[in-house]
């Protein structure tokens, strides 16, 4: 770390405009880090073309093609085996961070962080060769929203760039910043101010680091004022910034790559939105209390079918043909709908009923009606088509038939960002039980958030979003307990989160209990998640051994054992394993993530 003194910083126009006679103390620090994720199995991300479970798998053509073009139409539909590619690594990244912190005077401070990240996985793994990992179609500089620039395999951004002003009980922070609220760690009940950027190793970094590298910074003015010693009022005004997803064919892509997602249209509609937040924090006796209200544009967004565009688009439908990387069969369609917690049957019907080409009078209306009728659908009237799994399979395979239909099809989605209000409160206290007892210095926390009329993606991808009054809450128990006089205390956290209408990733529970080929049965009573975290440092803290476990008690497990070794002032090595296990019954959070069983190695050099 290097501290130096700059008198009169002419180069920093923003600052000098506020401080014409500036004499500041600036500190530069940073890190260089190599991050490698080595797969512990052979599984490839099934949501990518390279890992598509139907690559090279012939499935029966259940469509009308063999009847309409006997001898010409294939009896089976097969996704090309050539698309299958394996890989040994999930990530091969280098990170550079530079921090510049300046104390401008008694009241003003400035903070900047420059972050560079490149993943060279495409140079060593054919599965990801020339794939886009970071570029976005919206925002500036191909970065997405925020201050940054991105290429296919690199990004450079300014996650922190703000001024702090403090005088007496007043604190103002102005500029690009993260805002983190809430008692729970990892479970985002009250942590609603920022979305997440999942481009850098998705959610599989060290659990103890929570979302510090993931929260999307936004330009904001955040202020707080202490009223006496026991009450603090805080608020923010923030420009909307959406959560950012990994590239559609990147190692940790979370959405089936057969979809084309229009992110720009939705973003352009919401880009000027302003989020507002207000929080009160108080202490009553030994209990800390907070209450908050946030008016925001949901950064995670919701998805629905949208009309396909560009080459291969089938006009008036949400499908495009001829890409070679679309869906090849009804079987694939249903399987991937289930993986994404979508309704494969309903999704087909809403695609047919809500788009002009297949609605009454549309260019394909009669064709679609004939196909539906031929397939025995219960409703074959354009605009009111309906049917079960068998009929839907027949309709889909007819479309996917390379002779009688269009061949493989990509589905087009639009991601939209909608306004909502989030209200909540939290409590915390430290229990003072008998020395050395379970309740001795046990920290108890509770927090709850309520979002009325929250818009959710409809599992059938209809234009009509689901609307729910969502209630999320979490109980947290934290404890440092000394099991041995020769070791530092063991840190343990037990958390339980309940979500009334969505799962861990924000997907509607209406899409849960999802068997391929059937409409999802949904999940009543909400979803529950339990996490347990344990940290045991060595006496000098040179070593720290971690274990994080997360389960939805429905067969989904995420275990992360690991260790942090800090042998000296400049270097740190992190070795962690990610292990995910699913019941593969269409109901737990870990389904499809077996590919993320990996060993994460990180070597960091600090300066």
- Binds another protein (CB under 8 A): choice among 135, 164, 262, 501: 164
Q: How far is the CB of 112 from another protein (least distance, A)?
A: 11
Restricting to residues 414-453, which ones interact with another protein according to CB under 8 A? 428, 430, 435-436, 440-443
Residues 501-540 that bind another protein (CB under 8 A): 537, 539-540
Q: DSSP string spanning 501-550?
A: SB-TTS-BGGG-S--TTS-----SS-EEEEEEEEEEE-TTSSEEEEEEEE
C-alpha 292/C-alpha 535 separation (Å) is 31
Applying the rule CB under 8 A, the residues between 576 and 605 that interact with another protein are 604
Which member of 71, 486, 524, 525 binds another protein (CB under 8 A)? 486
The strand pairing partners of 37, in sequence order, are 91, 600
Interface residue with another protein, options 57, 180, 363, 427 (CB under 8 A): 180
Q: Which 455-484 positions form the footprint of another protein (CB under 8 A)?
A: 478-480, 482-484
Q: Quick check: 241 binds another protein (CB under 8 A)?
A: no
Nearest approach, Cβ of 25 to another protein (angstroms)? 3
- Contact range with another protein by CB under 8 A, out of 223-231, 321-329, 379-387, 519-527: 223-231
Rounded least distance, CB 580 to another protein, Å: 22
**Interface with another protein: number of residues (CB under 8 A):** 74
Taking the C-alpha atoms of residue 77 and residue 79, their distance in angstroms, rounded to an integer, is 7
Binding pattern for the stretch 3-22 against another protein, x by CB under 8 A and - elsewhere? x-------------------
- Min dist. Cβ of residue 480 to another protein (A): 5
Closest distance to another protein from the beta carbon of 28 (Å): 9
Q: Does 361 bind another protein (CB under 8 A)?
A: no
Binding range to another protein, per CB under 8 A, among 48-56, 79-87, 210-218, 466-474: 210-218
H/E run at residue 562: strand 557-565
- Interactions with another protein, residue window 61-90 (CB under 8 A): none
Do 42 and 16 touch, CB atoms closer than 8 A? no
Task: Kindly state whether residue 226 participates in binding another protein, applying the rule CB under 8 A.
Answer: yes
Per-residue H/E/C for 255-282:
CCCCEEEECHHHHHHHCCCEEEEEEEEE
Region from 38-46, 65-73, 172-180, 340-348 binding another protein, contact rule CB under 8 A: 172-180
The span from the CA of 607 to the CA of 604, in Å, is 10
H helices present in 125-276, as ranges: 264-270
Q: What residues have CB less than 8 Å from 210, skipping those under 6 apart?
A: 185, 186
What minimum distance in Å lies between the beta carbon of 156 and another protein? 18
Residues 279-308 that bind another protein (CB under 8 A): 281, 288
Nearer to another protein, 103 or 515 (CB): 103
Nearest to 588 by CA among 499, 500, 514: 514
Query: Please, what's the b/e burial string for 448-462 (b: 16 or more CB within 10 A of its CB; e: otherwise)?
Result: bbbbeebbbbbbbbb
Number of neighbours of residue 19 by Cβ within 10 angstroms: 18
Q: Where do runs of H (alpha helix) occur along 354-490?
A: 365-374, 389-400
Report if residue 570 touches another protein, rule: CB under 8 A.
Answer: yes
Is residue 119 a contact residue for another protein (CB under 8 A)?
no
Residue among 116, 120, 150, 111 at smallest CA distance from 33: 116
What letter does residue 324 receive in the DSSP assignment? Answer: S
Q: Alpha-carbon distance 534 to 549, whole Å?
A: 9
96-115 mask for another protein (x: CB under 8 A)?
-x-x-xxx-------x----
Nearer to another protein, 310 or 435 (CB): 435
Distance of closest approach, residue 241 Cβ to another protein, in angstroms: 16
Kindly provide the b/e burial profile for residues 362-400, where b requires at least 16 CB atoms within 10 angstroms of the residue's own CB. Answer: bebbebbbebbebbebebbebbebbbebebbbbbbbbbb
């Amino acid at each position: 770390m290097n501290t130096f003194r700059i008198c009169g910083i002419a180069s920093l126009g923003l600052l000098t405009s506020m401080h014409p006679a500036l004499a500041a103390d600036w500190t530069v620090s940073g890190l260089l880090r190599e991050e490698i994720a080595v797969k512990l199995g052979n599984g490839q991300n099934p949501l990518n073309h390279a890992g598509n479970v139907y690559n090279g798998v012939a499935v029966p053509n259940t469509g009308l093609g063999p009847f309409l073009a006997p001898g010409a139409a294939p009896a089976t539909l097969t996704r090309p085996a050539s698309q299958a590619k394996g890989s040994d690594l999930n990530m091969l990244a280098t990170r550079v961070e530079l921090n510049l912190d300046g104390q401008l005077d008694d009241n003003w401070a400035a903070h900047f962080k420059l972050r560079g990240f490149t993943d060279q996985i495409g140079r060593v793994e054919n599965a990801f060769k020339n794939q886009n990992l970071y570029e976005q179609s919206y925002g500036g500089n191909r970065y997405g929203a925020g201050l940054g620039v991105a290429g296919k395999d690199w990004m450079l951004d300014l996650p922190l760039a703000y001024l702090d002003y403090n005088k007496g009980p007043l604190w103002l922070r102005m500029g690009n910043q993260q805002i983190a609220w809430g008692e729970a760690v990892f479970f985002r009940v009250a942590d609603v101010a920022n979305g997440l950027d999942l481009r850098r190793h998705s959610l599989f970094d060290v659990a103890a680091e929570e979302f510090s590298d993931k929260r999307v910074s936004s330009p904001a003015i955040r202020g707080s004022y202490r009223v006496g010693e026991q009450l603090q009022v805080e608020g923010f005004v923030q420009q909307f910034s959406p959560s950012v997803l990994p590239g559609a064919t990147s190692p940790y892509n979370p959405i089936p790559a057969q979809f084309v997602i229009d992110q720009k249209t939705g973003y352009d509609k919401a880009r000027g939105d302003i989020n507002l937040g207000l929080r009160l924090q108080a202490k009553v006796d030994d209990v800390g209390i907070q209450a908050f209200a946030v008016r925001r544009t949901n950064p995670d967004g919701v998805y629905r079918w949208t009309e396909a565009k560009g080459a291969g688009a089938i006009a008036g439908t949400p499908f495009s043909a001829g890409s070679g990387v679309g869906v090849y069969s009804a079987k694939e369609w249903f399987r991937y709908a289930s993986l994404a917690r979508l309704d494969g049957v309903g999704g087909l019907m809403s695609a047919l009923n809500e788009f002009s080409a297949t609605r009454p009078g549309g260019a394909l209306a009669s064709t679609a009606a004939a196909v539906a009728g031929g397939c025995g659908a219960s409703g074959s009237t354009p605009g009111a088509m309906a049917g079960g799994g068998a009929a839907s399979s027949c309709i889909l395979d007819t479309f996917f038939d390379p002779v009688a239909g269009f061949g493989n099809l990509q589905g087009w989605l639009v991601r939209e960002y909608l306004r909502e209000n989030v209200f909540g409160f939290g409590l915390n206290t430290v229990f003072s039980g008998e020395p050395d007892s379970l309740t001795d210095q046990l920290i108890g926390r509770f927090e709850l958030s309520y979002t009325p009329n929250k818009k959710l993606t409809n599992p059938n991808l209809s234009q009509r979003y689901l609307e729910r009054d969502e209630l999320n809450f979490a109980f947290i128990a934290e404890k440092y307990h000394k099991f041995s006089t020769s070791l530092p205390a063991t840190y343990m956290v037990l958390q339980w989160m309940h979500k009334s209408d969505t799962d861990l990733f924000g997907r509607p529970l209406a899409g849960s209990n999802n068997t391929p080929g059937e409409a999802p049965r949904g999940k009543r009573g909400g979803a529950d998640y339990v996490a347990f975290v344990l940290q045991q440092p060595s006496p000098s803290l040179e070593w720290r051994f971690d274990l994080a476990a997360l389960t939805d008690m429905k067969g989904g497990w995420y275990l992360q054992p690991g260790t942090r070794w800090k042998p000296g002032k400049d270097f740190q090595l992190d070795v962690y394993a990610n292990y995910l296990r699913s019941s593969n019954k269409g109901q737990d959070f870990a389904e499809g993530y077996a590919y993320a069983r990996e060993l994460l190695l990180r070597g960091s050099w600090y300066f």
